[in-house]
Structure 1
């Protein structure tokens, strides 16, 4: 069987890139011939290690290279890039003779089903439907975002399958008959919990962007720090919000308590050194960071944002779900776990057990079953 994935690039450290690379590596181990087709790779290495048997093709479209032009220039180059993208992708797919072509909601989303190369078409959606309005930019760019969303909605029912990540989000797509839920697989797999949960250290992981809500986390930590000043919060990541977040930390008097650690080449060790994981995102798809924390036995305190946390965490058993935006309650739940080591360890054990619902073996069985059903193999 041959499967092709279409994505902007694999050079970034983002969650979608990590999921795709893990999936591609798992598929080739199962005898699937996997192709990753990019538009903006430009010779850069994949951020996450790819199996040498995964075959990569870059179409050299370079959507990102046009970001600093005037609006009329951006529009011209965007539509020219779309034209080139359609032509080059259609030519390559017909050359490769793949059985399945998958879009991870890139620029090809609205027209990929129109390429008649004989392959079945799948669309993967990695954010919740309810977050689309949040993603729209203000002003003229927002009009363009709404146009792209309209084109995407119009294309969904022309795909052979539309894959979303959570049962929570499935309720929002009832008008489409081709929807299936396949969550992402967890990154780490062990036979027992690894984290000792002894250190007075809370961790969070993610890009320093608005969607991650780290400013809400810092506000909550101000309340935590007043009651338990000897614990520290470490935020692993990087991004455009670093300076603003650092300023908030300084202005809140938390410079010796909250640390922006930057990215880590050994994120597993960052979890293992910690006793609690916290997430304050405004929205997610299926947050891999929660799965990573739970798979190492680290209990989680998270806002119940759309979507994902509700599909993973059982409130009060393997972690705490807090109504989205309730800063005071988030702080209270953190304090509760920080003060009660026995509860931390009990929740950590249950978190580890819970994470086994998302093993690579179980998730890849779902994908292989779908591929076989679509191709009658």
Structure 2
């Protein structure tokens, strides 16, 4: 089976990039897999896609590339949905390159990896390939404007996959998707190529983007309570992001400058997890919780807030980690101290975490995707591909929907401008 995976860009270090390349590498053992990066902005990928995966890009933004100053890249996109947060990065140039790729692609299955790309597949891809949209965020975190766009576009997909059962249930109950398979398929995390964590190490480790939703401010306040009882323990937080300065000020104000450390981004992260014996995740919002699985695969029990979606589907409370009340400093501190004060419990939970996290091995995730793709392809049938006339009609209908979205957005902007002028008057 020929599988093409369309991604915003494959050259960074985000969670969607990691899991996409993990899955592509696992699928390449049995299938012909191509990862199509809309953008390329550096010479090499951070994560190795593996020898069995072809990687291509559509628009090259490196300074010495003709695409960098291409005039069409200065013109706004007409196809990419405005409601997607990445809209301003797309252009007439990306429209043309994506359109050309979809027209000439001979894949049996084309997979999109974010709402805007899923919408493009639904509206612009020719009939024939199985079209699968992946959601790496959650329906709840999308704006109402984006949800309306997806409600119009997603019924034209063959399947939609989410990373949690909770989010799959949301899509089934809140969106009208007749005939679309909605399945939860978790992110894959490979077995680390390092020795398991030492349960005797007196370090708590956290990792992720330094962004408001991660609530590292709560973790630091909770850790101040930990230090008051166990001053021999330390905290490392790995990641980069807009809250770095604020978190540095928080460390100073709490007097944690000898106990809590902002370590910056780290790749590979596995060797850093293994320097600790407890992992912490204090998010108020998680689409999945990839860092939780990474830590567990390294043998760390995780103290995580019971935020919507991911953590409660990953952690077996009291077995391989602790789920604590969200936004509760006292609960976070209590969860950490429970493991800090009980060496045997920490050791047992760490071993259980390592065993239980094997269910997220990319090979197992790839099997689930293979089963889904095979069923969808056999249902449609390679020989049942539509003729040229029907394919043209399908693309025309998609173009009409895309034009309708653009007109609707323009009308909303015009109404907003009118209301603004009225208020000013």
Q: Identify the TM-score tier after normalising by the shorter chain.
A: 0.7 to 0.9
Give the TM-score normalised by the residue count of structure 1.
0.87
Match of 1:350 among 345, 349, 352: 352
1:108 counterpart residue number:
117
- Please say if residues 132 and 159 of structure 2, whose CA atoms lie closer than 8 Å, have aligned partners that are also in contact: yes
**Shift in Å, 1:263:** 1.8
**Shift in Å, 1:187:** 2.4
1:70 counterpart residue number:
none
1:166 counterpart residue number:
164
- Does residue 281 (structure 1) correspond to residue 283 (structure 2)? The answer is yes
1:77 counterpart residue number:
76
2:138 counterpart residue number:
128
Higher-Rg structure is 2
**Shift in Å, 1:361:** 2.5
- Please say if residues 97 and 118 of structure 1, whose CA atoms lie closer than 8 Å, have aligned partners that are also in contact: no
- Please say if residues 11 and 41 of structure 2, whose CA atoms lie closer than 8 Å, have aligned partners that are also in contact: no
Any residues of structure 2 matched to 1:144-223 within 5 Å, and which?
Answer: 146-175=144-173, 176=177, 177-188=180-191, 194-223=196-225
Change over 3 Å in CA distance of 1:291–1:331 after alignment to 2? same
Any residues of structure 2 matched to 1:262-277 within 5 Å, and which?
Answer: 262-277=264-279
2:99 counterpart residue number:
90
CA distance in 1, matches of 2:214, 2:262: 14
- Does residue 22 (structure 1) correspond to residue 22 (structure 2)? The answer is yes
1:299 counterpart residue number:
301
**Shift in Å, 1:342:** 0.5
CA distance in 2, matches of 1:129, 1:227: 41
- Please say if residues 278 and 300 of structure 1, whose CA atoms lie closer than 8 Å, have aligned partners that are also in contact: yes
1:140 counterpart residue number:
none
- Please say if residues 157 and 178 of structure 1, whose CA atoms lie closer than 8 Å, have aligned partners that are also in contact: no
Give the TM-score normalised by the residue count of structure 2.
0.78
**Shift in Å, 1:222:** 1.6
Match of 2:243 among 234, 241, 252: 241
Change over 3 Å in CA distance of 1:366–1:216 after alignment to 2? same
CA distance in 1, matches of 2:55, 2:313: 33
- Please say if residues 58 and 97 of structure 2, whose CA atoms lie closer than 8 Å, have aligned partners that are also in contact: yes
- Please say if residues 195 and 273 of structure 1, whose CA atoms lie closer than 8 Å, have aligned partners that are also in contact: yes
Please list every run of 5 or more consecutive structure 1 residues that lacks an aligned counterpart in the other structure. Answer: 63-73, 133-144
Q: SS of the residue aligned with 2:319?
A: coil
1:94-133 deviation per Cα after TM superposition (whole angstroms, max 9, x unaligned): 323111111111532323122215211101011222333x
- Please say if residues 131 and 306 of structure 1, whose CA atoms lie closer than 8 Å, have aligned partners that are also in contact: no
2:407 counterpart residue number:
none
Q: SS of the residue aligned with 1:8?
A: strand
1:113-162 deviation per Cα after TM superposition (whole angstroms, max 9, x unaligned): 22215211101011222333xxxxxxxxxxxx543332123222221000
CA distance in 2, matches of 1:151, 1:129: 12
Change over 3 Å in CA distance of 1:129–1:323 after alignment to 2? farther
Report how many aligned residue pairs link the two structures: 352
**Shift in Å, 1:83:** 4.4
**Shift in Å, 1:180:** 0.6
Of the structure 1 ranges 199-208 and 265-274, higher mean CA displacement relative to structure 2 is found in: 265-274
2:292 counterpart residue number:
290
1:164-219 deviation per Cα after TM superposition (whole angstroms, max 9, x unaligned): 111222221223452111111222258x9822210110000111112221112112
For the aligned residues, what is the CA RMSD? 2.3
Change over 3 Å in CA distance of 1:193–1:301 after alignment to 2? farther
Q: SS of the residue aligned with 1:298?
A: coil
**Shift in Å, 1:43:** 4.6
CA distance in 2, matches of 1:374, 1:130: 27
CA distance in 2, matches of 1:241, 1:186: 27
CA distance in 2, matches of 1:245, 1:43: 30
CA distance in 1, matches of 2:134, 2:291: 19
Change over 3 Å in CA distance of 1:209–1:44 after alignment to 2? farther
